[in-house]
Structures are given as structure tokens and as C-alpha cells.
């Protein structure tokens, strides 16, 4: 379990997150939503321990993240950032193997099990055929899948991802979302930021809505993604519909009348 308890974070005198409380539980897929600049990436960086809170605390299984050594924490918690650039021509397999480093002693060569974890991670995101290709030669979408595979190779119980489908085509985006769902069904804790409300409604067990550097709503998708809340946070007109016997809601959007642009 990963928890935020009344967390605030300030940088250069500006509050980038205020009074944030959140629980991420095992077996749960959480979607983090909000407009650009609302604080989604800040929230993820606090959850993964890249930034230390100015107020409050972040805990992993009742222990503050600051109590863990970085290598130790990497065995429990993994993060896939958005738009990461790798400038060195490592092969895809070498990059995915980096996900096993937290399990190896210094200068220890990978074991047969490490290679097995890497092969399985590449298969899960459909990049096994790219194993010997330099990552610098891949498209943005292919590189994104490599980074997700690296994260899976860690075997961490908690996986956080910043816009994991942003550079992917429709087919691979759906494959990744289905994979994240399967991981939670196997008991992992998964949270990801995303802009698409319909994707959040379809896949997420829990939705976290971030606005103006605050968490303004947490709950089931249908509880959080109401017409009133969406209009207030995103500044759009919205119609919420359910088609036939489908359990999930869909949203249609239009520009809100009298909305200021620019």
C-alpha cells in the first residue's frame, strides 16, 4: 500500500501540491486525471520518492519512503516517466535488463532468472523482436514500450506511469491498458496519469482528479466524473452516456459557452 498523508510540496517559493491525501491499494488500477499543469506529474514524483514533500509524508506499507535506500525502494516501487530520452545506443534488451539492477549486487552478472524476467517483460509489451535493436533507432512509441518493459522487469509490486499511452498507436495503447488491468488482477498496485476521461472510465477502479495543485476528488469513476465536476475542472460542456448494456459510461465534449481562450 502506498499512501500520501496531507502532503504539500513547494519549489522556489511556489506550492506545486497542497494538502494531498491518497491511498493506492494492491489490486487497484488508479487513473490520475487533470488539465495540463494541474499537478499530475508532481503527484507521481512525490509518490515514487523523486521529490520529498515539504509537508506531510509518503508511506510504503506504513514506512516513510525516506527510510528506504534507493536500491531497496526500487525492488518495491517502479516509475515510468513521460518522454524520457535515452541518448546512448543500448540495445532494447540491455535497457530492459536495467530493470533487474536493483536485484543484483555490484558487478554481479545477470542470472538465468534475470534473463527470464527480461524476456517475459519484452513479450508482454510486444517488443521481443526488437531485442537487439539500438533504442536510439526506435520510434517514440517503441521506446515507450521499452521503458514499460524495463519497469515490468523489476517485478515491483507498485507501478506508477506518467502518460504511458501518449506516444502509442491505438492498438498498442489498448494492449498496454489491458496489461495494466491484468497486473492489478494479479495483485499489483498500478497508477497512471492520463488525459482521456473515457479511458479512465473504462479501465480504472479509482479515479484521482487533480486541479490547481490540489487533489479535488477521489473515488469510483462514475462518482468522480460527473458532468458538474468535469465542467468545473476542464472548462467544457459534457454529456455522459451509457450505451445499451455496457457498464461503463462514455463522455461527449464541447467547448463551454463563454469560455475564455488564451
Q: Are 124 and 186 in contact (CB under 8 A)?
A: no
The whole model's pTM is what? 0.90
Q: Are 6 and 21 in contact (CB under 8 A)?
A: yes
Joined together, the cell numbers standing for residue 261 give 481562450
DSSP-derived letter for residue 2 is: E
Confidence of residue 261 (pLDDT cuts 50, 70, 90): very low
Q: Are 5 and 167 in contact (CB under 8 A)?
A: no
* 217 class by beta-carbon count within 10 Å (0-12 exposed, 13-18 middle, 19+ buried): middle
In the chain, what are the domains?
Answer: 2-255 (3.40.50.300)
Using DSSP's 3-state secondary structure scheme, residue 235 falls into coil
Residues 31 and 77: their CA atoms lie apart, in Å, by 17
CA distances from 22 to 44, 214, 215, 257 (A): 11, 11, 8, 34
pLDDT, tens digit, 9 for 90 and up, residues 105-139: 888 999 999 999 999 999 999 999 999 999 999 99
Q: In residues, how long is the chain?
A: 262
pLDDT, tens digit, 9 for 90 and up, residues 209-230: 999 999 999 999 989 999 899 9
Amino acid at each position: 500500500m502506498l499512501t500520501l498523508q496531507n502532503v504539500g510540496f513547494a519549489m522556489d517559493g511556489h506550492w506545486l501540491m497542497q494538502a494531498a491525501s491518497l491511498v493506492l491499494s494492491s489490486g487497484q488500477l488508479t487513473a490520475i486525471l487533470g488539465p495540463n499543469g494541474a499537478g499530475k506529474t508532481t503527484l507521481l514524483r512525490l509518490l515514487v520518492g523523486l521529490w520529498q514533500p515539504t509537508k506531510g509524508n509518503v508511506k510504503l506499507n506504513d514506512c516513510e519512503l525516506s527510510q528506504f535506500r534507493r536500491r531497496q525502494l526500487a525492488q518495491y516501487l517502479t516509475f515510468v516517466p513521460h518522454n524520457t530520452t535515452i541518448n546512448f545506443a543500448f540495445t532494447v534488451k540491455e535497457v530492459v535488463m536495467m530493470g533487474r539492477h536493483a536485484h543484483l549486487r555490484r558487478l554481479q552478472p545477470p542470472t538465468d532468472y534475470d534473463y527470464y524476467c527480461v524476456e517475459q517483460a519484452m513479450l508482454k509489451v510486444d517488443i521481443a523482436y526488437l531485442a537487439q535493436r539500438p533504442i536510439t533507432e526506435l520510434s517514440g512509441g517503441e521506446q515507450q514500450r521499452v521503458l514499460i518493459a524495463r519497469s515490468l522487469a523489476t517485478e515491483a509490486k507498485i507501478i506508477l506511469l506518467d502518460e504511458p499511452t501518449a506516444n502509442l498507436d491505438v492498438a498498442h495503447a489498448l494492449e498496454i491498458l489491458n496489461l495494466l488491468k491484468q497486473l492489478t488482477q494479479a495483485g499489483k498496485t498500478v497508477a497512471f496519469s492520463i488525459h482521456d476521461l473515457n479511458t479512465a472510465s473504462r479501465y480504472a477502479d479509482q479515479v484521482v482528479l487533480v486541479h490547481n495543485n490540489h487533489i479535488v476528488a477521489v473515488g469510483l469513476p462514475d462518482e468522480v466524473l460527473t458532468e458538474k465536476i468535469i465542467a468545473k475542472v476542464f472548462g467544457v460542456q459534457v454529456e455522459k452516456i451509457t450505451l445499451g448494456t455496457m457498464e461503463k459510461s462514455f463522455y461527449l465534449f464541447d467547448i463551454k459557452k463563454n469560455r475564455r481562450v488564451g
